[in-house]
Structures are given as C-alpha cells and as structure tokens.
Amino acid sequence: MTTELYALDYNDTRSIGTTASPSRQDKRQRVSETEYWEKYYNAPDVTYEWNNGYLEEKAVSKFLTSLMSEWFSELLRHFLRVHPIAEKTFLEMGFRLTLPGSTENRRPDLGVVLNSNSVPLLPDDSSYQGTYDLCIEAISESTKKDIKRDTVSKREEYAEGGVKEYYILDGYDRFLEFYRLNAKGVYIPIKPTKGGIIKSKVLPGFQFRREDLFNKPSPKEMIADKIYKGFVLPDLTTKQKVEEEKRGRLQAEAEAFNEKRARLQAETEIAHLKALLEKLQKAR
C-alpha cells in the first residue's frame, strides 16, 4: 500500500503506542496572513501553520517518532559541524511558500538552508524568507487529517515550491519516506544503496542507514562505522588513531627489546657453556 493510500485509509483507533484522542478536531479558523504573523506565529502554547487563509494547529508526534527525530537532528548537527555548508532550523522557524493559486506558511520540524541558497538565512531572522533546500517532518498522526497533511499535502506543496528533498520520519515505520525532486520538479523516492543507505544530494556526503533511524546508534558506535566516521566526531577518531599508532609503536619497541634481551641471554649462555667445555677439556 502506498503512503498516500495508507494515509487516507489509516484507522485512527489503532492502539500502537497511541495516547492521542482520535476525536481531536482540526482547528481550521479563517484568519488573514497578517493576523497569522502578528497573533499566531509566536503563540506560546500551540504551533500554528497557515494554509491559504486558514489557521492549522500542528499536532505533536508520538514519543517514539520524536526520539527518531532527535537522533536524526543530532546526526545532521554532526555533519554540519564538520561540513559547514548549510544552516539547520527547527520547528520555531517557518517559511512562506507562494504557489499557483495558494500561499502557505509552513513550519517543518527540521529545515536546512544551504549557504549557496539565493536567499541567506540571517542571524536576526525569526522566519525564513526563502525556500528551504531540505525539509524534515516527524509524522503527526492524531487524526487522519494530520497524516494526510504530512504525507500528501506538504509533499505536494514542498515539491511545487521547489524544496529539493523532503524526509518524513516515523518511529513505527508506516510512513517513513525520503523524496528528491527530479528534473520535472516531481518528488521521487530516494532509493537506498546497498546496505539500506540513504544518501542526500542536497548535502553531499550526508548519509545514514535506514535501520539506524530505529536502532539509533550512539556517537561512540558511529565513529568506527564507515558510514558515519567521516563526519561523526572525526577529531576523536583521529585522536584514537594517534593513540593506537602510539600503542603499536610502544608494543613493537617492547617486542624488539625483549627479542634483543633474549638474544643477549642466549649468547651469554652459549659463551658460558663454551667456557665450561674448554675447562673440562683442559682437565682431561
């Protein structure tokens, strides 16, 4: 079953780790865009998006999905620390999509703006004035409408708006998807390479195992992993290599010393035996 069909047919009452009420109503209040920015964008208790004249409450993700999103965010942080080619944003930072026939103000859970983007992300910005290069949404599934918004509506909007890659995270592996724009401006699934590796083109060198989104290996585990060791704590990896090389040299020197000592002991014993033999021969 495709993600889109699954999103439309999904049964809200299924009990896999859910604490949200399936009867939650999506609050579609009509407000102007000006009113959205002035009154709702910085609302303290609720995160709102604005969909072509209507206010939309952004539902929270389940804890398992939130843990996946947190691990992914840390992985992205490691990469951008080593390869500072972009800036990462969080849910607080929204952006405006002007599409044919509609205007959307969306707030992805994670966003990436390349340094090469024609619209820079400035230090004093409270919203991004351009279009993200990569958007990541942690699936919200309190209602069917929430699921459809992340898996269908935003996928269509982001593609039409020119977001180069779009990732949907899901701790239960029901809606997990990774998309990339093709030459026609349509999202196509990113095909994993051998070993289930997802590779980004927006961030060259950024890659991860699909299964690791669920296993969530620690940085200590990743620094020895060929998939991650190039950008997860490489300084620590270099330090470990230096220490290993030092230990190797010390061990080699110790072995050489022991061999030399054994050789000297053997030579001493041989000389002693020769002297003893000569003494016995003279005694005869």
Residue 53 shares a structural domain with residue 181: yes
Q: What is residue 109's predicted lDDT score, i.e. its pLDDT?
A: 97
How many domains in the chain?
Answer: 2
* Residue where the block lists tokens 């041989």: 270
Q: What is residue 113's predicted lDDT score, i.e. its pLDDT?
A: 98
Give SS3 for 114. strand
Q: What is the 3-state secondary structure (H, E, C) of 168-222?
A: EECCCCCCCEEEEECCCCCEEECCCECCCEEECCCCCCCEEECCHHHHCCCHHHH
Residue 38 shares a structural domain with residue 165: yes
201 neighbors 165 (Cβ within 8 angstroms)? yes
Residue 254 shares a structural domain with residue 164: no
105 neighbors 98 (Cβ within 8 angstroms)? no
Q: What is the mean pLDDT of residues 71-96?
A: 96
Residue 51 shares a structural domain with residue 99: yes
Q: Is residue 15 situated within a structural domain?
A: yes
Q: Is residue 76 situated within a structural domain?
A: no
Q: What is residue 62's predicted lDDT score, i.e. its pLDDT?
A: 95
138 neighbors 107 (Cβ within 8 angstroms)? no
Distances (CA, A) of 113 to 89, 90, 131, 225, 269: 8, 11, 8, 27, 75
The string of pLDDT tens digits covering residues 209-245 is 999 999 999 999 999 899 999 999 987 555 555 455 5
Residue 106 shares a structural domain with residue 154: yes
pLDDT of 266 higher than 80:
no
Q: What is residue 14's predicted lDDT score, i.e. its pLDDT?
A: 30
Residue 25 shares a structural domain with residue 115: yes
Domain holding 181: CATH number? Answer: 3.90.1570.10
Residue 35 shares a structural domain with residue 164: yes
pLDDT of 25 higher than 80:
no
The string of pLDDT tens digits covering residues 157-184 is 999 999 999 999 999 999 999 999 999 9
Distances (CA, A) of 92 to 85, 127, 190, 271: 21, 8, 27, 84
Residue 8 shares a structural domain with residue 102: yes
Residue 97 shares a structural domain with residue 29: yes
233 neighbors 219 (Cβ within 8 angstroms)? yes
Residue 165 shares a structural domain with residue 247: no
**Buried b or exposed e, range 80-105, using 16+ CB within 10 angstroms:** beeeebbbbbeeebbbbbeeeeeebb
Q: What is residue 279's predicted lDDT score, i.e. its pLDDT?
A: 76
Q: Is residue 221 situated within a structural domain?
A: no
Boundaries of domain holding 248:
233-284
State pTM to two decimals.
Answer: 0.76
Q: How far apart are CA 2 and CA 5, in angstroms?
A: 5
Q: Which residues contact 92 (CB under 8 A, 6 or more apart)?
A: 107
Q: Is residue 210 situated within a structural domain?
A: no
Distances (CA, A) of 209 to 64, 166, 192, 198, 227: 18, 17, 8, 6, 8
Which domain-ending residue is among 188, 203, 218?
Answer: 203
- DSSP states of 41-79: TT-SS--EEEETTEEEE-PPPPHHHHHHHHHHHHHHHHH
Q: Is residue 279 situated within a structural domain?
A: yes
* Residues found in the chain: 284
Residue 198 shares a structural domain with residue 240: no
Q: Is residue 77 situated within a structural domain?
A: no
Q: Is residue 194 situated within a structural domain?
A: yes
Place 22 in a pLDDT band, splitting at 50, 70 and 90. very low
Q: What is the mean pLDDT of residues 114-127?
A: 96
Residue 192 shares a structural domain with residue 250: no
Q: What is residue 246's predicted lDDT score, i.e. its pLDDT?
A: 56
Q: How far apart are CA 87 and CA 221, in angstroms?
A: 26
Percent of the chain with pLDDT over 70: 83
